[in-house]
Amino acid sequence: MAAEAKAEDRFTLPKLPYAEDALAKGGISKETIQYHYGKHHAGYVRKLNAQDKDGKVKKDASLEDLIKDQETSDKVFNLAAQIWNHTFYWESMAPAGSKCKDDSEVGKQLIKDFESVDKFIEAFKGRAGGHFGSGWVWLSINAEKKLVITEGHDAFNPMKDGLTPILTIDVWEHAYYIDQRNSRGAYIGKFIDLINWDKVNERYTAGCK
């Protein structure tokens, strides 16, 4: 759906990890993907490249660098974070979804920090449903290697606060309005069922090293 980046563009739109219609049975339609990925995500890439051509993006800095750097301008931060956040979000889901296994590394830590996987899911759903306005809700590893839920508006990314993210949900309306209209709760339920727990566990083990 998204146009190929020009050769001279510094930042590119990563490919989706599945086909545009792959999440449709799980409640996220091809039309949503075409708008969310093909318009919104691609738009952030296009705008950050425009900022780069205007000399407003630090040379040789990666998206992660731009997110973590406290000197990054608000405009460049928002664009860099939205690109990174969306890529992370797409990779947090899989067409068949999965269940978090209690004996997986991330499952064991969730039980330690939230008492059970089910209690974590309820807490995560509560934060996502209760977040006012647009933004992101994250599960991350903190400095004590504990798992914490954080949330923030607009292009919020926990790496700016020194956390290591392993899961995120996009609660901007464009993530769900086509399919669920204004029912964020229905969208959150669909997202939970689509979580790629193998990927989350992979991120967790890598983040604990």
Q: What is the pLDDT of residues 133-177, one digit of tens each?
A: 999 999 999 999 999 999 999 999 999 999 999 999 999 999 999
Instruction: Show the CA angle centred on residue 203, arms to residues 68 and 117, nearest 5°.
Output: 115
pLDDT at 180: 96
Contact 28, 194 (CB under 8 A): yes
pLDDT at 3: 47
Count of C-beta atoms within a 10 Å radius of residue 172:
19
pLDDT at 6: 52
The distance between the two most distant Cα atoms of the chain, rounded to a whole number of Å, is: 50
Q: What is the pLDDT of residues 68-118, one digit of tens each?
A: 999 999 999 999 999 999 999 999 999 999 999 999 999 999 999 999 999
Q: What is the pLDDT of residues 10-59, one digit of tens each?
A: 999 999 999 999 999 999 999 999 999 999 999 999 999 999 999 999 99
Contact 179, 173 (CB under 8 A): no
pLDDT at 8: 84
pLDDT at 4 over 70: no
